[in-house]
Structure 1
Amino acid sequence: MSRSGSGYDAVVDVDDEGDLGHTDLQDDLEFHASNFNDTPANARKAPSSGLPPPVTASGGSSSKRFLWTISFYAQFFDVDTSAVLQRCGAALFPRANFLDVLEGNPDLYGPFWIATTVVLVLFLGGTISQYLSQNDKAPFAYDFTLLSGAAGLIYGYTLFIPVGLFLALRYFGSELANLLECWSLYGYANLVWVVVAFVSWSPLEILNWAFVIVGFGMSVAFLLRNLYPVLSATDRQTSKILLIVVVMLHAGLALAIKILFFAHGSPVARAPGEGGPDKGGDSSKMMFF
Structure 2
Amino acid sequence: PHGSEIITGFGSLSEFEEAGNLLEANRDATTISIEDDEIKPEKQRQAAAFSPAGEDEDPLASDDKTELLSGQKKSVPFWTFEYYQRFFDVETHHVKERIIGSVLPWPGKNFIHTHLRRNPDLYGPFWICTTLVFAIAISGNLANFLTHLGKPNYKYTPEFQKVTIAATAIFSYAWFVPLALWGFLLWRNNKIMNLVSYSFMEIACVYGYSLFIYIPTVVLWILPYEWLRWCTIVVALFLSGSVLGTTFWPAVRDDHPKVIIAIMSSIVVLNALLAVGCKTYFFSKPEDLLPGELSSATEVTKAPHTT
Q: Is TM more than 0.5 here?
A: yes
Q: What are the residue-to-residue correspondences of 1:5-24 with 2, within 5 Å?
A: none
Aligned residues: 220
Partner residue, 1:125: 139
Deviations 1:229-264 (A, max 9, x none): 112242332112111111111111111111012224
Instruction: Give the alignment's Cα RMSD to 1 decimal.
Output: 3.1
Query: In the alignment, does 2:99 pair up with 1:88?
Result: yes
Name which one, 1 or 2, has greater alpha-carbon Rg. Answer: 2
Query: In the alignment, does 2:273 pair up with 1:260?
Result: no
Partner residue, 1:183: 204
1:78 to 66, 86, 89: 89
3-state DSSP class of the match of 1:219?
A: helix
Q: What are the residue-to-residue correspondences of 1:266-277 with 2, within 5 Å?
A: 271=292
Partner residue, 1:13: none
Contact 1:129–1:264 at 8 Å: present in 2 too?
Answer: no
Q: Compared with structure 1, are the counterparts of its residues 63 and 91 closer, same or farther at alpha carbon in structure 2 (3 Å cutoff)?
A: closer
Partner residue, 1:210: 231
Deviations 1:30-61 (A, max 9, x none): 9xx8xxxxxxxxxxxxxxxxxxxxxxx96499
Query: In the alignment, does 2:115 pair up with 1:101?
Result: yes
Higher helix share: 2
Contact 1:130–1:264 at 8 Å: present in 2 too?
Answer: no
Q: Compared with structure 1, are the counterparts of its residues 186 and 64 closer, same or farther at alpha carbon in structure 2 (3 Å cutoff)?
A: closer
Seq. identity, % = 27
CA distance in 2 between partners of 1:188 and 1:62 (Å)? 25
3-state DSSP class of the match of 2:158?
A: strand
Query: In the alignment, does 2:270 pair up with 1:249?
Result: yes
2:244 to 223, 228, 240: 223
Partner residue, 1:240: 261
Higher strand share: 1
TM-score for the superposition, normalised by structure 2: 0.65
CA distance in 2 between partners of 1:112 and 1:167 (Å)? 21
Q: Compared with structure 1, are the counterparts of its residues 144 and 271 closer, same or farther at alpha carbon in structure 2 (3 Å cutoff)?
A: farther
Contact 2:105–2:239 at 8 Å: present in 1 too?
Answer: no
Unmatched segments (≥5 aa) in structure 2: 1-45, 50-65, 190-194, 296-307
Contact 2:104–2:239 at 8 Å: present in 1 too?
Answer: no
2:78 alignment partner AA: L
Partner residue, 1:194: 215
Q: Which runs of 4+ in 1 moved over 6 A?
A: 60-64
CA distance in 1 between partners of 2:80 and 2:268 (Å)? 37
